[in-house]
Structure 1
Amino acid sequence: MSRVRLVGGTITKTTGGDYNIYSDGNIVYNSITSVTLTSDVGIIYGEPKDAPPLKTKEKIVSISSELYMHNNQDLKVPYLDVSNILTFKSSKPFIAGIRLIFGRDIKHTAAKKLMKDLMNDTLIRPKFEIDETLSISQGGYYYNGVISLNPKLILDSEKDPDKAWLLFRVLMEEIGHYIDDLLRNKYDNIGGDDPKDEGVLLTADFIKFNQLLLKDFEFAKVKIQSVDGSIREFSPKVLFAKPNIEEKAKDLLFVASKEDDHGIVTLKSGKKIEVEFFKIRGAGAIHESITKRAATAAGINTILD
């Protein structure tokens, strides 16, 4: 590669051989901006001993969660162990809860298969993926064994307790859709979908059983590639104090109708599918209604301003 330098505006000097260009910012080709060889701010002439470190945007390498996957952890599956409320072993409380959440058409045999996998820690885990195409109002969705999540929400959850609380709810609701898929299509073949939002109800049941409105807790593990290329890990954490219990209660009380939550996404294969999003509520949300059943399941007084 050759470099051409104009000296005095009339003499052209050509320097042969290869050379490297280093920049802390983007290198623009075919720029109309000229560079002089006198005193350009931020430009160093000559070959550096070491190339400047490559800087990139932070990105999610992986996220995983064991929420509702087994009972050998601090956050328990509701009514899987009923030794504290019954003097004898029984699957009835668990099965009754599953059918209330996921629909009366769920058979006892399917619920028992789920119960067995949860107790033996043999439940097939969902895959967690990042979907860069999700908008700011879309927290995530479930499809065919995969829970796809909004990367910005995950990154924000590291420093913002409100976003950590939101990410927890997104994960729980999409896990609820995953469990519903297992009950209808793996443990049975009835297919279909209950008209209720099973993700919302499962989240409320899980919160009440584990008393999650009254304590701090971690719920996932995240690996992030930092701007310098290094890998770091963190565990998103919901705090008792922020958001406070009243703010959390309102988040659990208000959900949009299921019809508003559906949309089309394009998979990596190019296939377009309809999915049920976890919509991030805010100004402009339409057709909101109070889901008193979910609030009651979470142990929340529904008479809130």
Structure 2
Amino acid sequence: METKRDGEWFEVRIPEKWEGYTVHRIMEKEWHVPRKLMHRFRSNREVTINSDAVHWKDTKVTTGDTLHIRLFKPQPLEVTPAPMNIDVIYEDDHLLVVNKPSGVFTHPNRPSETDTLVNGVAAYFQENGIHATPKYVHRLDRDTSGAILFAKHDLAIAMLGKELQKRTIKRTYLAWAHGKVEPEEGIITKPIGKDLTHPVRRCVSSEGQYAETHYKVMEYSETDHASLLKLHLQTGRTHQIRVHLSHTGHPLVGDKMYGGEGRVNFKQALHAALLTFVHPFTEEVIKCLAFPPSGSPLFSERHIRLLNR
């Protein structure tokens, strides 16, 4: 898809596959624009064809036409910015992928919290002249490190949210699990629900939601009696990897809540190492590798490279 930014406006060259489509079809069926945002675009005449305001349901586009959308209108910052060292993996006018450190919450749980990744990204937006509130597409647990995807405007978050529902955004994790995991490759399909004896913990429960985790053993450490796993989630339940591995008798190293042990700052050995998705506007496949910090006692650059095997 041929696209570019022009100030507050986003320009798209109509591709051949959209020949004869109405503007309304592009907005509703191709880009899944929410009704509230559709209303704003219409009311403010923020969508044009060849620089002309047109009737959305009557006007059909032709290959090579220019579609303009006012996507980059300045928006108020809705969270408190807090300076943080932000490790940017990928960035363009629409998206930002950040490598989250372990020990940091993704977003505030109370208005008084200002030390989360969202607050740090808000400060990054301020420093770089991005007049918007960062919107996270998915989350990671506080003690899980790795790639998190953010949207920079309302249409991007809507489109990416739809992709998340369709499971076309792929997240690949690396983890150290206690013991020698066998078989070396498999699928764990156990429903996950709330643990009624604990305010935060989850558990395998017949009354829980369907959950599916794919895993593969990458290597085994005799010294630590632990397996390095590559994991892919087919579903995205809270604590899914932690619950599934614990249920199989191989909890994450350092994950005390689910039976793990370890000396590494008591943090679970789980890292979101690879994020793969189709860019909502350019339709390019974007692959983002999240490397651990230098000197990490859990994961190394070599471990990340193993994902390409």
Q: TM-score, normalised by structure 2?
A: 0.24
More helix, by proportion? 1
Bigger relative contact order (CA 8 A; separation at least 6): 1
Q: TM-score, normalised by structure 1?
A: 0.24
Max Rg structure: 1
